[in-house]
Amino acid sequence: MTQALPHLRRSDARDNRDRILEAARAVFAAEGLAVPMREIARRADVGPATLYRHFPTKEALATAAFAGQMRACYAIVDEGLADPDPWHAFTSVLENLLELQARDRGFTAAFTAVFPHALDFAADRERAVKSLAELVRRAREAGHLRPDVVLDDVILILMANGGIQAKSSAARVAASRRFAALAIRGLRA
């Protein structure tokens, strides 16, 4: 009888992991991914060894920390793909992705290949890009999107939005919303 038992973490280990993830999300969202692992450990009130025991690399920490944002990204794109109105689908997905990006600088950096070997993000990027391409195709074929607009134009808009600098998350979101409105006006047929 060599059946594997499920690995159960001690409650203090679960608490440490939760604090590390909470600290990482907050730091990555505010400051991006350049924050040293030791700073995340300090903010989580754990030692560096504890942090590395749970997350041996920053890549592993970022992947775990951004799992929720990845689900939010999928929900935005899936909602757009389900929308029968191609223009509404395209614009709402673009607006919502830009806002998600403005709220969390770290997620954007992780998702756009700061960690090129993060297989989870590579697969996620590919799925997101295919879905965006489908939304672009639908809006263009319906005559709402300029005929010369290609997927790379949308990616360029996402990249440009990532460069918005503001002192607070609220100011970044407001600037991102304005940028989205300007970009959408420029893309409309």
Mean residue pLDDT of the chain comes to 86
Same domain, 100 and 71: yes
Q: Alpha-carbon distance 46 to 16, whole Å?
A: 7
Give 53-95 pLDDT, tens digit per residue: 999 998 889 888 888 888 888 899 999 999 999 999 999 999 9
Amino acid type, 99: E
Average pLDDT over residues 125-154: 93
Same domain, 50 and 83: no
Residues paired with 188 in a beta bridge: 145
101 in Cβ contact with 110 (< 8 Å):
no
pLDDT at 126 over 60: yes
| Residue 2 maps to a domain | no
Give 139-153 pLDDT, tens digit per residue: 999 999 999 999 999
Number of separate domains in the chain: 2
| Residue 86 maps to a domain | yes
Q: Alpha-carbon distance 168 to 166, whole Å?
A: 6
| Residue 5 maps to a domain | no
Same domain, 81 and 137: yes
- pTM exceeds 0.85 for this model: no
Same domain, 36 and 104: no
CB count, 10 Å around CB of 155?
14
Q: Alpha-carbon distance 93 to 16, whole Å?
A: 36
Number of H helices, E strands in the chain: 10, 0
pLDDT at 41 over 70: yes
Same domain, 76 and 148: yes
153 in Cβ contact with 139 (< 8 Å):
no
Give the contacts of 45 (CB within 8 A, at least 6 positions apart).
Answer: 19
33 in Cβ contact with 106 (< 8 Å):
yes
pLDDT at 177 over 90: yes
Lowest-confidence segment of 68-77, 94-103, 114-123 by average pLDDT? 114-123
CA-based nearest residue to 157, from 113, 108, 118, 122: 108
Residue found by looking up tokens 């790379």 in the block? 152
Owning domain of residue 28:
11-65
Average pLDDT over residues 3-26: 79
Helix boundaries (H) for 66-116: 67-82, 86-103, 105-109
CA-based nearest residue to 70, from 35, 12, 110, 41: 110
- The 8-class DSSP code of residue 115 comes to S
